[in-house]
Amino acid sequence: MKLKVCGMREPGNIADLIKVNPDYIGMIFYSKSPRFVNLPNIKIKEDILKVGVFVNESIPEILIKVKNYKLDLVQLHGDEPARTCHDLFRKNINVIKAFSVDGSFDFDRLNEFEPYCELFLFDARGKTPGGTGKQFNWDLLKHYRGNTNYFLSGGIDLCDVSALLEHREKDKRMTGVDINSKFEIRPAYKDIEKIKKFKKHLMNEKV
């Protein structure tokens, strides 16, 4: 099980999070987000993968951020078509494509994205782009018939570990968890001790 902590920005908070050793650290490059990153020189050690989160951004702008922040993956969290994933894939960019799920979501549309995406990320549908801080009904994922592994996201909290592990037992394609707002003291500033507890229970390890 992989752990992705998203919405990071503050250098000191990032330095503390690095000691917890998550698998991925996500930075949001969407100007309307309260977690928008506009600081240079954010340093993350090489064995933690750096993910840049974008919402309907142009490919040239994404490529600038990939270069400047040395991003390992790009997460597309808007209405980007499969063509955008294809174009980034052709430029050797690893893509996570996020999808907002509710009862009317058509999982068949993911077929055209699969050849170009490293991972999918399933989040709750909201009125605005980006995360909602709310959970969706994970049972809906029984309609997902693809082969691309995915992360669960959306309102995940410390109390959800048992349910996450249960879901993982049912569906091995769920290879990671994305956490954000439920672990915040304020936007873009995480409660490191709470993340430590979550990781310890999720991974059944000492932190």
Q: Is 88 helix (H, G, I), strand (E, B) or coil?
A: helix
Tokens of 152: 């669960």
In order along its 207 residues, the chain shows pLDDT tens digits of 999 999 999 999 999 999 999 999 999 999 999 999 988 777 888 899 999 999 999 999 999 999 999 999 999 999 999 999 999 999 999 999 999 999 999 999 999 999 999 999 999 986 655 556 789 999 999 999 999 999 999 999 999 999 999 999 999 999 999 999 999 999 999 999 999 999 999 988 544
pLDDT at 83: 98
Please return the burial class of 62, using the count of CB atoms within 10 Å of its CB with bins 0-12, 13-18 and 19+.
buried
Q: Read off the CATH number of the domain in which 158 is found.
A: 3.20.20.70
Q: How many domains does the chain have?
A: 1
Q: In the prediction, which pLDDT does 130 show?
A: 55
Domain housing 36: 2-203
